Structure 1
Amino acid sequence: MSKTAILVDGGFYRKRAKKLWGQHSPQETASGLITYVRRHLKEHVYHHELYRIFYYDCAPVNKQMYHPLLKRTVNLGATPDYSWMCDFLNCLKEKRKVALRLGFLDDTNSVYTLSYSSVKKLCNGTLSPDALTEKDFELTIRQKGVDMKIGMDIASLAYKHQVEQIVLIAGDSDFVPAAKLARREGLDFVLDPMEMEISKDRDLFEHIDGKRSCGNPYKREKNMEGNDQFKV
């Protein structure tokens, strides 16, 4: 039985999970994440042993920020999003075989910006500036250190031959050099873009051994034999 390390780009997972399966409590989201990633251990007739789940994300920012629409400062530490994220990370800390790899948010360059959909509505005339609400704005804060930690862990797992397979849950091509390195060291490298289309002419698709997503973790999917259905 081969060992598998599952690496999760947390910002990507949370955004896709909310879009695909809706908003859930921190406890439900943490449990759903574990259910989701463990489905990767069942691959047709093969079963893989879990080495560890590496979860990469950033703790939320606790600071005062000026909101251009409200024309006042907002205490981010008192928002529901802040409490949700803190509870979610604490829930993951209690899960077996989960290692948190936290970067940080560059709050020195954080700003409130109009969402893309709101900008489109303003440009096509279906939304007037006077009709803007707080929901039309989103907080933009760039993550620091997350991609680097993912790349370093992939390299470490590959060079030390601690696993035979790496599953990366992510959606961009920033990890192509790390994926190429892992494959050169003989590892099976699988990408899970969570049902997001990955163009075959992109570098990331060229340098992976397989691609699969694992369905809704909040619903038990069964095949005709009554086993959990595994989507390839």
Structure 2
Amino acid sequence: MSKTAILVDGGFYRKRAAFLWGEHSPEDTADGLIRYCYKHLTEHHTKHDLYRIFYYDCPPISKKMYHPLLGKTVDLGQKPQFKWMNDFLSELKQKRKVALRLGVLDDASSVYTLNYDTVKKLCSGSMTRADLTEANFIPTIVQKGVDMKIGIDIASLAYKKQVDQIVLIAGDSDFVPAAKLARREGIDVVLDPLEQSIKENLFEHIDGKRSCGNPYKGQSSENMAAYKA
């Protein structure tokens, strides 16, 4: 049986999962992620053995940031998202065969910015400054070290011949150099963009593209026993 490693770009997964399947509690989100990854182990009539799930993300920051609309600083450590993210990472730490690869958030350059839909509406004239609310702003915080950790793990898995297949759940092309290296070492590289379209030229750097559908449908508490063992 071929051995598969599943690498998850956490920031990408969390945003796409919320968009596709709605918001969930930290525990349900962690369970949904594990169920989703296990779906990749059945491919047509082929069964794969899980080597490990590598999850890449950053812990939240508790920085106080100036909000341009409110005209005051906002303590991110007191926001519900701060507790949610900490609880979510704590849940993942308890999952079997899950390795957390945590980077850091660059709090030195973090600022509040308008979200994309708001910018479009302002530019089109369908919204004015008087219509802006706190919900139109998002904290823009850059991740540091995550892409490098993904690349290093792909190279390590390939050179050490630890797996036969790598499934990468990600949405951009930053992985291309590492994916090319893995393919040269004979690894089957599958990209899962979570039902998002990808650039046509990316297909020459992967061996396949596959998304696995809603992990919250048709699941029972009995089914989760295997993932928590």
Q: Give me the TM-score of the superposition, normalised by structure 1.
A: 0.93
For residues 48 and 141 of structure 2, the distance between their equivalents in structure 1, rounded to whole angstroms, comes to 37
> What residue is the counterpart of 1:119 in the other structure?
119
- SS at 1:173 equivalent: coil
- 2:125 is aligned with 1:130: no
Corresponding letter in the other structure for 2:210: R
* Unaligned runs of at least 5 residues, structure 1: 222-232
Name 1:220's counterpart in structure 2: 218
Tell me whether 1:206 sits opposite 2:204 in the alignment: yes
Separation of aligned partners in 2, 1:145 and 1:199: 24
Q: Which amino acid aligns with 1:105?
A: L
* Residue 102 of structure 1: how far off its partner (Å): 0.2
| 1:68-217 correspondence runs (5 A) | 68-200=68-200, 202=201, 204-217=202-215
Once the two structures are TM-superposed, the CA of residue 217 in structure 1 deviates from its matched residue by 0.4
| Secondary structure of the corresponding residue to residue 127 of structure 2 | coil
> CA separation in 2, counterparts of 1:180 and 1:120?
37
In structure 1, distance between residues paired with 2:29 and 2:53:
15
SS of residue paired to 1:110? strand
Give the whole-Å Cα distance in 2 for the aligned partners of 1:121 and 1:43.
Answer: 43
CA distance in structure 2 between the aligned counterparts of 1:158 and 1:167, rounded to whole angstroms: 13
- Counterpart of 2:9, as a letter, is D
* Distance in 1, Cα, partners of 2:4 & 2:198: 23
4+ long deviations beyond 3 Å: none
For 2:41, the aligned partner's letter is L
Write the letter of the residue equivalent to 1:155.
A
Pairwise CA distance, 1:100: 0.1
Cα distance in 2 for partners of 1:174, 1:69 equals: 34
1:72-101 CA distances to partner (integer Å, 9 max, x unpaired)? 111100100101100000000000000000
User: What's the TM-score, normalizing by structure 2?
Assistant: 0.94
Paired with 2:199 and 2:69, the residues of 1 have a C-alpha distance of 38
Q: C-alpha displacement at 1:122, in angstroms?
A: 1.2
Q: How many residues align?
A: 219
**Residue identity matched to 1:207:** H
- For 2:88 and 2:164, the matched residues in 1 are separated by 30
Following superposition, the deviation at residue 127 of structure 1 comes to 1.0
**Alpha-carbon distance between aligned partners in 2 of 1:166 and 1:193, rounded to the nearest angstrom:** 14
| Aligned partner letter, 2:218 | R
Residue 220 of structure 1 deviates from its aligned partner by: 2.5
Separation in 2, partners of 1:117, 1:210: 32
Q: Match for residue 52 of structure 1?
A: 52
- Counterpart amino acid of residue 153 in structure 2: D
